Structure 1
């Protein structure tokens, strides 16, 4: 985060697989793990890494490094950066800023190793790399934060932002498809039949979790305990009862989310007073 970077040191960046960024999408999370909500970027990278991606995606824990980031970008087709920021917006607010708006190189005489930040790295990479080496697209996600003391715990608002950033980034890099579902007043989630097909078999139940504003559904096949799916409309629409998990609403709600077919899971953003609850999972 720009206002606290003076405590950061260069050289903390590390890369997951693969080691070459040529032709790939590079996702870089910046931040200080010791300063509360400033850890959003690195923690996001860790969660994405645990889920696993193919060789077309490089995950970089940028830590508090600056200049190193410029070299991690070389040859990538797309770069996505994530960091915390100070703004007047409520903590947890997520912004997406085009990279070209942050590529203005400051006076080089002002550079010191401990003040060289990722935004300087963008400008440095634009100056350093040939046209064929600089990414065709650079986007930056910034999250408004306010809890930055050394040793502070990550706030609930920051955890919610991480959960929603995962959805935004997966949608942006094209590993999932957009979906919508409807949540009835009684807490029954209506799903299109096509979403429940896994490897030409029908899911018969789901595991469900609501945490930090994201509803995760894990489609289950065979004799596995879960919430049963049932046909609720003549057009084949399926429903799953989630009333105890999401709470009873007074009117039907449309949920926007993603379908991760490779992992057999659906993820929806849930607003409102119940969005931070936690639930069961297979």
Structure 2
């Protein structure tokens, strides 16, 4: 059954705002909330709730996920990844307490089939630190602005002639 309340585009930020740069996804959502986005776009700060990603994406035509990436020496680097690359079947299955957004991409397609978006884009922002903190590092703050601007630009609808 189709989700009649589903937006055309679901934009979901994931991450733990109490772990420093892991809060990059929710920060992008907060930044986008200040924009004048089309009415068929829904923003969701999913925190660490992978199940929320799966349920909120159901029925949407397009899904955009934003999350932090483990530090690997390039803090603030932005990686754009097609969702298909990250929607792999979990190796050992997934318990409810370990269900992440990448698991949601795989399981959502299995459960919801054509009612799950096929157009999935993921933005990963490389963290500088994942220590306990509520502030983002400088490089990640700059990356949050860039990702929010890039997503907002994707959502601009051409005026009708």
Q: Same fold judged by TM-score > 0.5? A: yes
Q: Which of 133, 140, 161 lines up with 2:122 in the alignment? A: 140
Give the Cα separation in 2 of the matches to 1:40 and 1:79.
17
Work out which structure has the larger RCO, using CA pairs closer than 8 Å and 6 or more positions apart in sequence.
Answer: 2
Give the Cα separation in 2 of the matches to 1:157 and 1:127.
37
Q: Which of 30, 35, 41 lines up with 2:19 in the alignment? A: 35
Q: Does 1:127 align with 2:127?
A: no
Structure 1 or 2: larger helix share?
2
Give the Cα separation in 1 of the matches to 2:18 and 2:76.
18
Q: Does 1:78 align with 2:27?
A: no
| 1:1-282 correspondence to structure 2 within 5 Å | 20-22=5-7, 24-86=8-70, 88-107=72-91, 109-131=92-114, 133-151=115-133, 153-175=135-157
- Cα RMSD of the aligned pairs, angstroms, is 1.8
TM-score (norm 2): 0.88
Q: Which runs of 5+ in 1 are unaligned?
A: 1-18, 177-282
Task: Say which SS state the counterpart of residue 80 (structure 1) adopts.
Answer: strand
Shift of 1:172: 2.0
Structure 1 or 2: larger strand share?
1
Shift of 1:35: 0.7
Say whether the 8 Å CA contact 2:81–2:122 is kept in structure 1.
yes
Which protein shows a greater Rg? 1
Shift of 1:146: 2.6
Q: Which runs of 5+ in 2 are unaligned?
A: none
Give the Cα separation in 1 of the matches to 2:122 and 2:110.
18
